[in-house]
């Protein structure tokens, strides 16, 4: 090139770069780290949490709260710690681990600095649930299916001697210990008849139970609870109301009273005993709000939140608050708020190569159900420069859960590839009151399916989506709904992706974990009852397999204890026998979800490839 051909550069300007970075791809979105739970020691010197921070697998991690904030590993078993508790005296870490998603959690102790697991309570083929520590850390209280597989039992293990005591055995419903009093003179236990009926009882060490509400025959839920002192318990509940509120029970007087009411369902609760203060999270549909409550007067004040959704909340003796939370454009992170101060970010999980502003926030919309009930939904519209005109319809899992303003790597990656995402909170979802939540009981294939279809009609009618460019993708109950929509409404969609969804409600009910079976009768139906069995068949996707005509991708974990592999096997076999195109992906080391990062990336890579192939 001659000198005269060299382009002139304005003085003081930087030359244009000779490179161009590619847009973040699937690996960047799905390499986002996840934090599942946490605990903080009372001295607030460190925080311990379960995370896949190492890249591929979940382990326990620790981080100093007083010096270097660089996280360090505490376990190396490459398995999920479902619960983590720090010994108040700093002698050990208590954690429960399962194996490759089988949910058969066993209790282990780890050295304070981490290392090998020392079995504390282990029994092959059984699970140890919800371990709680005494205030001095010398005893562990937990529930287990080891003695009674259906109704469970509550036990105490002395750590010094290894002596174990059975405190009570469930009788008419699965029963778990939920809260331990400061002096261990009483406990709160919860019986689970169904998700919408989980009453609480005060239990003494001799196993005697006392109802904590005036009329225990009234269906209600205890959502969270804490002792203010050995005599008084506060808890969030919907006893006698549609919307959950904060209540108190006095062990001395036996009196129950409402402390504070909210406009929306109360959920998480943390109590600062010294000041008589409760921090209450309310689930206002797709987002959370934090309230401070003076327990003596019931006075409420709104508190700021750094996230849209709270997954865990702890208050320490100093008054500092710690939380685990996320939003629609930010992954799970840990936060701290010192007394009188502002929220401080403790971790910085993010999407590699992107800022929150690069991601797509949810638009919150409402449409009417066929009976006029307002249905709230999330609409994610792909940005105009990448939009391809296709929409993923996402029925959420649960069914008694909700799609909320929380980061999902799949959503954001699909949006980056040009797909819109539609996620309605059909009848049966949580966060909209007790009546709304119970509407799915014994009606799995009724009102929720109609709400899905009505939502699609509304979406198309408002011009957001093209009726000829829809896919259905869902997991767990969302997988069931995906299968049902394929069987009954195949013409509404181009293709379907089922991720560990039940295909036959009778075999699903019969293969559920034993301690689920007493709840199944109220939640789903009784397969042994002829009338229920007929209804269950009518609501089962497998009944409509002859009408499943569109391409389908089915994904399953071989270790799934909730929706066993046979649920996917039978629908895949039936489709293949009829010549319907179906891809089937089974992960031998996964359960009801993805605990290994490579598997998760492979699964969702296949999902996007499948959708791309069926445009």
Tell me the three state secondary structure of residue 480. helix
Cβ–Cβ < 8 Å for 217, 191 = no
Looking at the chain, the whole-number percentage of residues with pLDDT higher than 90 is 93
Query: With 50 as the cut, is the pLDDT of residue 3 above it?
Result: no
Query: In angstroms, rounded to a whole number, what is the distance separating the alpha carbons of residues 606 and 594?
Result: 14
Confidence grade of residue 24 (pLDDT, cut at 50, 70, 90): confident
Instruction: Give me the phi and psi of 592, to 5 degrees please.
Output: -90, 70
pLDDT at 67: 82
Q: Are 251 and 182 in contact (CB under 8 A)?
A: no
Q: What is the DSSP letter of 171?
A: S
Q: Are 51 and 428 in contact (CB under 8 A)?
A: no
Residue 2 has pLDDT above 50, yes or no: no
Pick the last residue of a domain from 138, 171, 204.
171
Is 199 within a domain?
Answer: no
Each residue's pLDDT tens digit, 109-120: 999 999 999 999
Residue 21 has what pLDDT?
Answer: 86
User: From residue 181, how far is each of 141, 188, 273 by CA, in Å?
Assistant: 11, 8, 12
CB–CB of 486/541 below 8 Å?
A: yes
From CA 14, how far away is CA 483, in angstroms rounded?
Answer: 56
Number of domains in the chain: 2
The closest of 163, 130, 123 to 147, measured between CA atoms, is 123
In a domain, 357, yes or no: no
CATH code for position 47: 2.120.10.30
Asked if residue 160 has pLDDT above 50, the reply is yes
- Whether the CB-CB separation of 398 and 445 falls below 8 Å is answered with no
Mean pLDDT of 508-536: 93
Q: Given 156, 171, 186, which residue is the final one in a domain?
A: 171
**Judging by DSSP bridges, how do beta strands 495-499 and 552-557 pair with one another?**
parallel
Model confidence over 104-147: pLDDT tens digits?
999 999 999 999 999 999 999 999 999 999 999 999 999 999 99
The rounded mean pLDDT for the chain is 95
Supply the DSSP symbol for 198. B
Q: What DSSP state is assigned to residue 400?
A: S
Which residues neighbour 196 within 8 Å (Cβ) at sequence distance 6 or greater? 219, 221, 400, 434, 437, 438, 441
Give the number of other CB atoms < 10 A from CB of residue 462.
Answer: 11
Nearest to 168 by CA among 235, 36, 178: 178
597-613 and 409-416 helices, crossing angle to 10°: 40
Distance CA 475, CA 464 (A): 24
In this predicted model, what pLDDT tens digit does every residue of 211-266 receive, in sequence order?
999 999 999 999 999 999 999 999 999 999 999 999 999 999 999 999 999 999 99
> Contact, 322 vs 38, CB < 8 A?
yes
Closest listed residue to residue 359, CA positions, set 397, 328, 396, 324: 328
What's the CA gap between 519 and 526, in Å, rounded? 10
The token duo for 21 is 């970075």
Structural element, H or E, at residue 481 = helix 477-489
The domain of 533 spans 362-613
- State residue 11's pLDDT score: 56
What would the mean pLDDT of 29-47 be, rounded to a whole number?
A: 96
Asked if residue 239 belongs to a domain, the reply is: no
The residue among 373, 378, 375 whose CA lies nearest residue 361 is 378
pLDDT tens-digit map of 351-365: 999 999 999 999 999
Q: Which of 150, 141, 148, 58 is nearest to 107 (CA)?
A: 141
Is the residue at 211 inside a domain?
A: no
Structure tokens at 386: 């990448």
Q: Where among 117, 150, 171 does a domain terminate?
A: 171
**pLDDT of res. 7:** 45
Gap between the Cα atoms of 608 and 605, Å rounded: 5
Residue 543 has pLDDT above 70, yes or no: yes
- The CATH number assigned to the domain holding 395 equals 3.40.50.1820
Residue 524 lies in a domain: yes
The pair of structure tokens assigned to 391 is 């929409």
In a domain, 319, yes or no: no
> Are the C-beta atoms of 378 and 362 separated by less than 8 Å?
yes
CB 185 within 8 A of CB 205: yes
Whether the pLDDT of residue 604 is over 90: the answer is yes
Residue 174 to residue 165: CA distance in whole angstroms: 19
pLDDT score recorded for residue 556: 98
Residue 420: predicted pLDDT = 98
Helices and strands, number each (H, E), in the chain: 10, 36
If phi over 0 gives left and psi between -120 and 50 gives alpha, with beta otherwise, what is residue 297? alpha
Give the model's pLDDT for residue 69: 85
pLDDT bracket for residue 12 (50, 70, 90) = low
Q: Average the pLDDT over 298-322 and give the result.
A: 97
pLDDT confidence of 5, banded at 50, 70, 90?
very low
Cα separation of 149 and 145, whole Å?
Answer: 4
pLDDT value of position 17: 78
The residue count of the chain comes to 615
User: Residue 178 pLDDT > 50, yes or no?
Assistant: yes
* pLDDT surpasses 70 at 384: yes
Range 38-43 average pLDDT: 97
* Strand partners of residue 291: 280, 302
Residue 535 corresponds to which tokens in the numbers above?
A: 């209804």
Domain presence at residue 197: no
Question: 396-429, pLDDT tens digit by residue?
Answer: 999 999 999 999 999 999 999 999 999 999 999 9
Q: What is the pLDDT of residue 167?
A: 96
Using pLDDT thresholds of 50, 70 and 90, give the confidence band for residue 204.
very high
**Residue 517 dihedral angles phi and psi, to the nearest 5°:** -65, -40
- Arithmetic mean of pLDDT, 64-89: 95
pLDDT for 15: 72
Question: How much of the chain exceeds pLDDT 70, in percent?
Answer: 98
Q: What is the mean pLDDT of residues 287-305?
A: 97
Among residues 340, 222, 213, 225, the alpha carbon closest in space to that of 278 is found at 225
Q: What is the pLDDT of residue 14?
A: 67
Give, in order, the Cα–Cα distances in Å from 287 to each of 307, 405, 598: 9, 6, 30
> In this structure, is the dihedral angle defined by the CA atoms of residues 269, 270, 276 and 282, taken in order, positive or negative?
negative
DSSP for 417-456, please give it.
Answer: TT-EEEEE--TT-SSS-HHHHHTTTT-TTSHHHHHHHHHH
What does the pLDDT read at residue 296? 94
Flag whether 306 is in a domain. Answer: no
CA atoms within 13 A on the CB side of 599: 21
Q: CA–CA separation, 304 vs 281, rounded Å?
A: 11
């Amino acid at each position: 090139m001659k000198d005269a051909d060299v382009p002139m550069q304005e003085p003081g300007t930087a030359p244009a770069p000779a490179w161009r970075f590619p847009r973040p791809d699937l690996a960047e979105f799905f390499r986002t780290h996840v934090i599942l739970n946490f605990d903080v020691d009372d001295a607030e010197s460190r925080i311990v949490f379960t995370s896949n921070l190492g890249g591929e697998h979940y382990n326990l991690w620790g981080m100093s709260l007083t010096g270097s904030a660089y996280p360090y590993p505490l376990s190396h078993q490459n398995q999920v710690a479902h619960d983590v508790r720090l010994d108040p005296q700093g002698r050990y870490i208590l954690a429960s681990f399962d194996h490759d998603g089988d949910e058969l959690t066993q209790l282990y102790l780890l050295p304070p600095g981490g290392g090998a697991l020392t079995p504390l309570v282990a029994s092959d083929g059984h699970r140890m649930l919800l371990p709680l520590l005494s205030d001095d850390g010398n005893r562990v209280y937990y529930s287990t299916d080891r003695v009674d597989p259906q109704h469970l039992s509550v036990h105490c293990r002395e750590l010094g001697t290894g002596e174990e005591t059975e405190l009570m055995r469930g009788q008419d419903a699965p029963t778990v210990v939920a809260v331990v009093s400061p002096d261990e003179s009483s406990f709160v236990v919860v019986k689970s008849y169904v998700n919408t009926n989980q009453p609480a009882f005060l239990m003494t060490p001799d196993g005697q139970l006392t109802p904590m509400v005036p009329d225990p025959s009234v269906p209600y839920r205890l959502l969270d609870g804490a002792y203010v002192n050995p005599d008084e318990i506060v808890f969030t509940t919907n006893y006698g109301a549609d919307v959950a509120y904060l209540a108190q029970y006095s062990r001395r007087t036996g009196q129950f009273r409402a402390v504070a009411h909210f406009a929306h369902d109360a959920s998480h609760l943390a109590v600062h005993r010294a000041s008589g203060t409760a921090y209450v999270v309310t689930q206002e549909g797709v987002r959370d709000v934090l309230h401070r409550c003076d327990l003596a007067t019931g006075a409420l004040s709104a508190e700021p939140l750094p996230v849209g959704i709270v997954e865990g909340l702890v208050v320490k003796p100093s008054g500092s608050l710690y939380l685990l939370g996320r939003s629609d454009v930010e992954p799970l992170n840990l936060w701290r708020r010192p007394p009188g101060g502002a929220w401080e970010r403790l971790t910085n999980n993010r999407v590699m190569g992107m800022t929150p502003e690069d991601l797509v926030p949810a638009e919150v919309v409402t449409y009417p159900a066929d009976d006029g009930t307002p249905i709230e939904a999330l609409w994610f519209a792909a940005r105009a420069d990448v939009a391809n005109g296709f929409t993923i319809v996402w029925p959420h899992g649960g069914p008694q859960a909700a799609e909320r303003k929380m980061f999902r790597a799949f959503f954001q990656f699909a949006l980056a590839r040009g797909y819109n995402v539609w996620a309605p909170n059909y009848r049966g979802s949580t966060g909209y009151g007790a009546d709304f939540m119970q509407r799915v009981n014994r009606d799995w294939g009724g009102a929720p399916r109609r709400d899905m279809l009505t939502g699609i009609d509304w979406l198309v009618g408002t011009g957001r989506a093209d009726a000829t460019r829809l896919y259905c993708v869902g997991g767990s109950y969302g997988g069931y709904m995906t299968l049902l929509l394929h069987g009954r409404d195949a013409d509404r969609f181009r293709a379907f992706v089922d991720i560990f969804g039940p295909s036959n409600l009778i075999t699903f009910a019969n293969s559920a974990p034993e301690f689920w079976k007493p709840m199944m009768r109220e939640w789903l139906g009784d397969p042994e009852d002829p009338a229920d069995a007929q209804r269950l068949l009518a609501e089962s996707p497998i009944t409509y397999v002859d009408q499943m005509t569109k391409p389908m991708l089915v994904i399953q974990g071989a270790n799934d204890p909730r929706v066993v592999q046979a649920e996917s096997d039978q629908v895949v076999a039936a489709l293949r026998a009829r010549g319907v195109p179906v891809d089937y992906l089974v992960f031998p080391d996964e359960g009801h979800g993805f605990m290994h990062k490579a598997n998760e990336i492979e699964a969702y890579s296949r999902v996007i490839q499948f959708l791309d192939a069926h445009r």
